[in-house]
């Protein structure tokens, strides 16, 4: 069953509130899920799984499709880091270098895909 799409009128304000700081857990969850949704729309595919536990995960980026077991290309980070990457306050290379972003697999990169417009 597909997840319900988060409307721009709901997602945009949630992101702005979360990026500004002090958002409650529900607002942060909405912001994270909305930005993951935008990433999946910007780079549709099933090659890389982007995980932001405990709020959500998406598969994106064109290429070989992953169907079973642990995906070969995984990017995982926390909510604060994902919000920073997606909003442009943290560069992709900076997230990797700091250890805040864990990327495994040959295609596990969001270089050129973040920041996202919201």
pTM of model > 0.75: yes
Question: The sheet that has 101-104: what strands, in order across it?
Answer: 56-60, 48-52, 74-77, 101-104
pLDDT in tens, 10-37: 999 999 999 999 899 999 999 999 999 9
Query: Does residue 110 carry a pLDDT above 70?
Result: yes
pLDDT in tens, 65-102: 766 777 789 999 999 999 999 999 999 999 999 999 99
Q: What DSSP assignment string belongs to 45-70? A: SSSEEEEETTTEEEEESSSSPP-SSS
């Amino acid at each position: 069953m597909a997840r319900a799409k988060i409307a721009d009128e709901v997602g945009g304000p949630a992101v702005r509130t979360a990026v500004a700081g002090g958002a409650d857990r529900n607002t942060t969850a909405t912001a994270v899920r909305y930005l993951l949704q935008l990433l999946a729309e910007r780079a549709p595919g099933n090659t890389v799984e982007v995980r932001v536990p405990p709020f959500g995960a998406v598969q994106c980026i064109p290429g070989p499709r992953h169907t079973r077991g642990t995906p070969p290309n995984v990017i995982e980070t926390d909510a604060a880091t994902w919000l920073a990457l997606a909003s442009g306050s943290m560069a992709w290379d900076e997230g990797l270098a700091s250890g805040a972003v864990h990327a495994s697999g040959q295609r596990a990169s969001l270089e050129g895909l973040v920041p996202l417009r919201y």
